Amino acid sequence: MEKPTESGYEVFLSFGGPDTRCDIADYLYNSLIRAGIRAYRDNEELPIGKEIGPELVQAIKQSEILIPILSKQYATSVWCLMELVQMVECKEKWGRKIMPIFYNVAPSEVRHQIGNYHEAINSHINKRQRYTDETIQNWKAALSKVGALRGWELNERGKGEFTEEVVRTLLIELKRTTWQNLITWLKWMIKWTKSWKR
């Protein structure tokens, strides 16, 4: 995976299934936009036998914060699993931040692939002619890594209150990232200026 160019989006939302599309994902996306956060969401479903397109991979690579909305149906979507693998790669290679939302699922369900996640992975395993063992292992590894991260849990809270908390946290995190980038740039400028004066 080549290094991303400049950041095009501040936040990338990954979600799948009717349990989130017109529900929490829509609430959150619109709240992010209203708060002035450049957010990306993909409203298309991946056709069977297709891989995620280069524009979607670019959106993931260029986003500062990656938010998978891990719902009961998330792992049934091959598209979502492929996005999750890309997110983990971006975290490991370029330090992108993954901030998961556990939407009516426990983090342990995702981390250990039990319950709905076990059923979804088994369903994909039964389609081996479409998916290699390596692909399935990559999906399971990504689920384990993201399930081990601290994230938000919706549980019994109202969606309005919940999305407010997420947006507030993201605004703080994005300011921190901006300051870190500025400090890095200033250090580079000082170093460059000193080397130029010699």
Between CA 197 and CA 9 the distance in angstroms is 37
Residue 135: closest CA among 171, 182, 82, 89 = 82
Q: How many CB atoms lie within 10 A of CB 89?
A: 17
Between CA 27 and CA 162 the distance in angstroms is 10
Between CA 15 and CA 72 the distance in angstroms is 11
Between CA 10 and CA 60 the distance in angstroms is 10
- 83 tagged catalytic: yes
* CB 30, CB 52: distance < 8 Å: no
- Residue 46 is encoded by which pair of tokens? 């991946």
Exactly one of 83, 134, 156, 161 is catalytic; which is it?
83
Bridge-based pairing of strands 152-153 and 9-14 is unpaired
What residues have CB less than 8 Å from 45, skipping those under 6 apart? 16, 77, 79
* CB 125, CB 162: distance < 8 Å: no
**Mind telling me the catalytic residues?**
83
